[in-house]
Structure 1
Amino acid sequence: MKDVILIVGPTGVGKTKLSLILANKLKSEIISADSMQIYKGMDIGTAKVSREIQKDITHYLIDIVNPDDEYNVSNFQIDAFKIIDKLLYENKSPIIVGGTGLYINSLVYKLKFGEDKPDDEYRNMLWDLYESEGSKLILDLLKSIDPDSLKTIDENNIKRLIRAVEYYHTTGQKYSKKNDSFREENKDYNFHIYCLHEERSKLYDRINHRVDEMIEEGLMDEVRSLITKYDKNSIAFKGIGYKEVIDYLDNKVDYDEMLRLLKRNSRRLAKRQYTWFRRDNRINWIDIEEYGYDFEKIADLILRDIDE
């Protein structure tokens, strides 16, 4: 059987910890399904595993492009399937871990890409509009061409709002209709999908604490260093953890406001991730609190479930 294990869930819930335990037990390797960890140098803000851990357990699709490079879900799908097939050929069970729902869906559903060519000039124009006029203009534009897309896109997720407008501009098709293909399951592999979750207020406390830890670990210096090498208007820097710090460095917000926004936006991301994964009834939900936060026990549970 082509067994492929997917560990998904919201930011900060413990996906990485579980994946490392599983990789050790299975003598296997890990494929990242995180749309921010692909970028070189963006380490603290994306909570990458350390270089030491990566030496012990091979990780794929981490640090593969510069922050100003183009990389999309189509690239991820192609790269991920190559790695999955390689590991299966080596009689290893691939372990895919991440919270980027579209990346996960590109594997477990029969999504086809290629007709959607990026239009950098148009996208940059939309970003300029957003920077000068705010998100309402982008929202109004999307409502006029594809109101149904707002059923699945959070109104605060400006990156996806712009993506949806650009998609309509480049293809003439509605972004909401593109998502219809999510329902055609990919049965070429035996996917075992597990989503970690815990009571919302506890997860939010954990996220708030993790943001404080990132600041202590040097997130500010990381961002300062990156924007000396790359254009701070690059798409990568629109991600949570980077846009807030850049706004602070540009004196658009003070330190306390930066911290508040960073925590708030991280919590909102977790909420969106929960909403995304609840749409797939193949997912096995695991309450980490029910298992006493014992990830060894959770790993054993997953392995028994796969064997059965």
Structure 2
Amino acid sequence: MHRRIIRAWAAGLLALPCLLVPSHALEPPASAAAALQAKHIELQPQLRDNIFGEPLHLSSREGQSRVEGDVYAEMAYPIDAVAATFKSAARLCELLFLHLNVRRCEPESAGNRETLVLSVGPKRARVSGQVYDITYALRIESAEASYFRATLSAAEGPLSTRDYRIVFEAMPISGSHTFIHLGYAYSYGTMAKLAMNLYLSTAGRAKIGFTVVGKQPDGKPLYVRGERGSLERNVMRYYLALLAYNSINAGSPQEKMAGRLRKWFALTERYPAQLHELDLNEYLEEKQADLARATTGHR
């Protein structure tokens, strides 16, 4: 039982949105906007020819006590629609909730300060005591028509995890399309490393990411595994949540949530080798139970 709880904790940990603020995030908005524009030009070959079949580029890196990476993509939505999602902790919670490991997200505000409390746990909420919370502070750093940037930050997480950073950048590339960047990373200590190693040697040992690191003997692609693979799977899930959220805007709040849940699941099923975990009915049942618990105030 103890090992199962640790594995579930590690699986949830790897699902946390932990996006790195890139080096140009501290630059003035004009400089940061120019850097994003230059990146869009630089990545044209990767955006046009990749394993995703869409204008999307994902990369990841692993250090001694840190994993990090970047997602760049062209989205078929105008910048004002895409950026609106990141201007409100409440809307961000609706987006993040689509991820199968996010059990609850509560927006909070005090004056001009907005935060959100993210509760993350295993994909099946059958065992109590496995959900943990992290409080993120939301900051809008630039909200121009030509460039948008928002950041989320949390100094500490469960056990020995720390320095959670999220950045979202966007710029228009036409009247109806937007180039976006998600930077992501987190640091971890000994306890988190042990838990992740246990998960990756048991339940997560056969799971793969998206980066091709070589070829198998039969010539098929060899995909990254381990912590980088886990990070890539989950950042892809959050990117697909952004797509699903922006794809459905009509109906009541309940109808929009139901439509976005189904859309998110359909998008993840485009990459079954990396992202398939539950069937549609299981996923919807878990999410409906999460929503019911949130309504009644139960965990």
Same-fold call, TM > 0.5?
Answer: no
TM-score using structure 2 length: 0.27
Q: Which protein has the bigger helix share?
A: 1
Which structure would you say has the larger RCO, counting Cα contacts within 8 Å and 6 or more residues apart?
1
Bigger fraction of residues in strand: 2
**Highest Rg: 1 or 2?**
1
